[in-house]
Amino acid sequence: MLADYHVHTQYSDDSDYPMEEVVQDALRLGLDALCFTDHVDYGVKRDWDDPRGVLYRPGGPGEPAQILLANVDHPRYTAEYAALEETYRSRIDLKLGMEFGMQVHTIPQFQALFGRYP
């Protein structure tokens, strides 16, 4: 079985890879399974819907002037995954995850987020 269980998409601030393109590329490469693992880093980044707004960092060489620092847009992330899982279910085993950058003082935030998404 060929699988990649650590894939970032446009929902992470370190990637601009559209989720469906990831799936199509995985199929072209002959992968049997794929797991999306976009970033959630409380204490460093804010949620996409934080009332204080999101944060940005200065862009580096070859990057835009500002780079968004935000956690996964959870509703859009899960909705797009569900649509792709339905579309491609007969061709590839898709999984949905999140990469948690945990710090001791942010554990309650992660527990709350984890509880919202089975």
**Span 74-112, pLDDT tens digits:** 899 999 999 999 999 999 999 999 898 878 888 888 788
pTM: 0.82
CA distance 116 to 1: 31
Beta bridge partners of 93: 33
The mean per-residue pLDDT over the stretch 13-37 comes to: 95
CATH homologous superfamily of 3-116:
Metal-dependent hydrolases (3.20.20.140)
CA distance 36 to 3: 11
- State residue 117's pLDDT score: 67
**Span 51-78, pLDDT tens digits:** 999 898 898 898 889 888 888 998 999 9
Distances (CA, A) of 95 to 15, 25, 40, 48: 18, 16, 17, 22
